[in-house]
Structure 1
């Protein structure tokens, strides 16, 4: 429980006006307060940038979640530890700022090759790796369109719509859509591969040439440009000088080029290869949901390949007040690592079984950053989401990063049934905002949708944990989702009587309202200026302080 002398919920409406001032005015008429802001936000830098998302819009004029205000103005007692399942890539469970926050299955004896707790998983000490096998780990997996084409190719290839029976029309439509997307993805992947080969071949040639002019290789962009002008009549020479000018301007190192080429090649040879079987290393039948005897308990064994889970975990629950790294949202949580993501797209089977594992092993909140545009076995995932709802487990999901209206183009997983209605009330979809109080307030990459996105949260330039005791800035709706997960853990740890649906309602009703226009700039469309409030169901940005005050009220009335 929290104690505070403020028993009202402060609901904020933020108006962006062209008033030409540089300060924030707070006009107290009645609740809600009205905040008048300058139309141009001051760029954030230095130490403030590292935790801008924890700031308060009134006190700091920064559009954070008021987390610092929570810890300075509210006090807590009897907080319970909440288990949070992070369904993602592997997590660095030995990270200096995460190791004390990692869930430990005390019912399991480590490394004895026995399922001590009879939950169906052997040596699942910190969670489960659903893409780990006895002889290695899935590093590259197919895109979902590849799986769909493989599923229906023999049945539908070369067929026309008038040759398809009514019972097969839905599957045929899915196959056609997947085939169209696949053809475009393969075309772009091969173009990337060609570009990678070009960079790989020409970088050493350009570097060798420049070394003849600068033996110490201490040249800069200006010097290279000057050299180009000197040799502008030598076609071959100026071409190589021009390449180095580009390499310098875009900071393309040899390491970056090698990595670009590697991933471009592997995208063609593996993720988009119809003949590549990504499940061979696991030995399971991906078409059989009941075939659960696969995976392993090593949730931290491929960190050089996978970083994302560590980044997400840090935002949620990096240890607070330890004078190391960063402060997560809450200390009253334990992070369960469930690995299903690799380079490619996740299998619906793994998503479904990971959700069920989380529910059955005590998680009260599930964080899922994964998203894809097709789903071969959507029914498996929706059944698992429904199972979580029945067990009162909250699921928080990223809206994804395609700058798309997902009311028009759904992403999966989701909580939408075949009629377009929400079939559960425990599922929250999160979009991302930046720290810019301007038309660029919505993160340029964030998906949106008045119906299918529930709320927004900070997701741009978030400083968080990285593998091997390092830290860095990351952006994406994954960051925004992690923030909402962290706030949800605060609510569930202090008000365990509140249900998952009540937590969702509180978050949506207690958010900060920003009533100004933002820019939507999509490919193949002209720019649109629309109210930020039209980008999500709640029209708001999550606010930890407000949510805790409302949770107190709702809990008292339970």
Structure 2
């Protein structure tokens, strides 16, 4: 395989993308289309006379719509389990796990889809033990690391609660301005039959400064459908989050009834991987990886020689380390070759549980791919879990963390809120304005979650067509065969902060310095596979 030339600004597409190009820009080729996609169409030209195997990809995520018309034939079925007989036929510890398992186990009418944040759990766990200490020098040596985590969690908690309260106050101010504008407008429009145009005309005739401002505010609110009901709905939602996600007394496991501090206390949850279907995330991820191709329904996934194994662990809030670890082990034990985990969090109470599960996957030759996160942070300096790097040491080689790129071949190639890091982000992949499926139809979304799914799709192609490759070999191929971009780019930045105008090399923001490329990966996989067969 010849080393491809690095891409520069000479590849910029001069005219806007067509509707069709926008629809699947992430699959295009930088050389033939001048679009920084993954060269999937070119990859399938290479594969046209080859036969692939069907592999299992576990999606550890939210509940998933397994009845979606473009996904229903792509869902894994546990053939060792007899449906609905209330017996653990395959003796794996899970009863009637026909399509996977739902560790969240939500049911219609409950609020299991809302869980607490990890820093809230950390405070709850250590509060009675550590709240009396004020200085590090006072803390017994055996509690020192926990105290540092406890302090960090409290700083985060106070900051987030302050922000939520400020948001509630902001919506209340908007509500007040809206009602004041209505009151002023009623003097001129007793029937309240005003429009934006009428309010703009009225504004130019009013001399009183306060009334002019009130009418101007009202015109803006009418234009964007902001009213009292809109304000109250946001206020209620923010207050609901304070009462659940941030509430030390909220029991987010009452329907599961397990001990979250005991990794051996399982099974819990249920076999309904579809659940309440209130969140679309897993359906989006599964569709990018494996939606049926060329059936004129929905979208084309990257590889439909895939069976998706749904493992539901995610809710609104932070995922439990216990759920993540057990889901990884379930996936490994039930035949998954790839585990996609489009999830992440700043704090982790039991990182060793997850890390042990990732090591278990490595021992069983399973590749794990996860998202880098959407906080605009350097995760070499800021924690982001799950990770293969504990206390500065890379502990496994079967783990890929993926950042998000856009279709811009310029300084904005990396999406503005994607996390980055030369040590802890392995590679980038398209994740900006990507078409995917939801329970409501086709949608467009953005985030490193989608980038992770893109890499999982590419990895599944390598396993499908070159089954003699190991998980570590597939990881290395993906990182080495990516497309290099000789561009100076703007670093991502956290919401609410000013972007640093200083540009840095694109290659400096991830370990590989590249964007995943399916065609290049297949060429390299062919070489590696042939060499192995000759041994």
* TM-score of the aligned structures, taking structure 2 as reference length: 0.93
- State the alpha-carbon separation in 2 of the partners of residues 313 and 417 from structure 1: 29
Structure 2 residue 115 is matched with structure 1 residue 122: no
Range moving further from structure 2, 202-211 or 343-352: 202-211
- State the alpha-carbon separation in 2 of the partners of residues 96 and 258 from structure 1: 37
Matched with 2:251 is 277
Cα 1:505–1:232, aligned 2, differ >3 Å: closer, same or farther?
farther
Structure 2 residue 396 is matched with structure 1 residue 424: yes
Shift of 1:102: 1.1
In the alignment, is the contact (CA less than 8 A) between 2:106 and 2:275 conserved in 1? no
In the alignment, is the contact (CA less than 8 A) between 1:131 and 1:137 conserved in 2? no
Structure 2 residue 122 is matched with structure 1 residue 148: yes
- State the alpha-carbon separation in 2 of the partners of residues 541 and 357 from structure 1: 30
Matched with 1:4 is none
Shift of 1:75: 1.8
Aligned residue among 183, 195, 215 for 1:219: 195
- State the alpha-carbon separation in 2 of the partners of residues 48 and 88 from structure 1: 29
In the alignment, is the contact (CA less than 8 A) between 1:134 and 1:282 conserved in 2? no
Structure 2 residue 48 is matched with structure 1 residue 55: no
Aligned residue among 471, 476, 480 for 1:500: 471
In the alignment, is the contact (CA less than 8 A) between 1:82 and 1:332 conserved in 2? yes
Task: Tell me how large the CA RMSD over aligned residues is.
Answer: 2.4
Structure 2 residue 315 is matched with structure 1 residue 352: no
Shift of 1:423: 0.9
Counterparts of 1:91-130 in structure 2 under 5 Å? 91-130=64-103
- State the alpha-carbon separation in 1 of the partners of residues 489 and 190 from structure 2: 48
Shift of 1:194: 2.5
- State the alpha-carbon separation in 2 of the partners of residues 294 and 111 from structure 1: 17
Structure 2 residue 155 is matched with structure 1 residue 180: yes
Encode CA deviations 1:275-323: one digit per residue, 9 max, x unaligned: 11111121111111100131001111222x3111111111111110001
Matched with 1:459 is 431
Shift of 1:232: 5.4
* Matched length: 526
- State the alpha-carbon separation in 2 of the partners of residues 208 and 489 from structure 1: 61
In the alignment, is the contact (CA less than 8 A) between 2:64 and 2:283 conserved in 1? yes
* TM-score of the aligned structures, taking structure 1 as reference length: 0.89
- State the alpha-carbon separation in 2 of the partners of residues 281 and 203 from structure 1: 41
- State the alpha-carbon separation in 2 of the partners of residues 101 and 253 from structure 1: 44
Matched with 1:552 is 526
Cα 1:398–1:552, aligned 2, differ >3 Å: closer, same or farther?
same
**Structure 1 alignment gaps of length 5 or more:** 1-7, 17-35
SS of the residue aligned with 2:304? Answer: coil
Structure 2 residue 138 is matched with structure 1 residue 163: yes
SS of the residue aligned with 2:204? Answer: helix
Cα 1:437–1:152, aligned 2, differ >3 Å: closer, same or farther?
same
Structure 2 residue 54 is matched with structure 1 residue 85: no
In the alignment, is the contact (CA less than 8 A) between 1:9 and 1:546 conserved in 2? no
Counterparts of 1:333-344 in structure 2 under 5 Å? 333-344=306-317
Cα 1:360–1:164, aligned 2, differ >3 Å: closer, same or farther?
same
Cα 1:205–1:467, aligned 2, differ >3 Å: closer, same or farther?
farther
Aligned residue among 377, 394, 414 for 1:442: 414
Counterparts of 1:123-522 in structure 2 under 5 Å? 123-132=96-105, 136=110, 138-159=112-133, 160-199=135-174, 213=189, 219-220=195-196, 222-231=197-206, 233=208, 235=210, 238=212, 240-248=214-222, 250=224, 252=226, 257=231, 259-303=233-277, 305-418=278-391, 420-468=392-440, 470-520=441-491, 522=493
